[in-house]
Amino acid sequence: TVANSSGSAVMTRNLATDVANSTSGAWQLMASSARAPSSTRYVWRDQMLSTLRLVFLNRLVAFTSSPKRRYA
């Protein structure tokens, strides 16, 4: 039980770190694209959204397919 709870805590911390990194990267992208023409801004936004979606899906898959269940 202790190992399971600590494992989920570590996973939650990793997820929070991923979200924080993605958010800071997103802010940097928005700040840099604010000075860019509109076409470049849309490219940056699409890239940022796909990156966030990829990170979220990776974490979701890793969380749901982990061999040790949370309620075991």
Strands (E), 1-72: none
- The answer to whether residues 28 and 36 touch, using CB atoms and an 8 Å cutoff, is no
Nearest to 27 by CA among 11, 45, 43: 45
pLDDT tens digits along 5-60: 556 666 667 777 777 776 676 667 666 655 656 666 677 778 888 888 888 888 88
Query: 0.75 exceeded by the pTM?
Result: no
What is the three-class DSSP state of 69? coil
- Which stretch of DSSP H or E encloses residue 62? helix 38-64
Identify which has the larger pLDDT, 2 or 27.
27
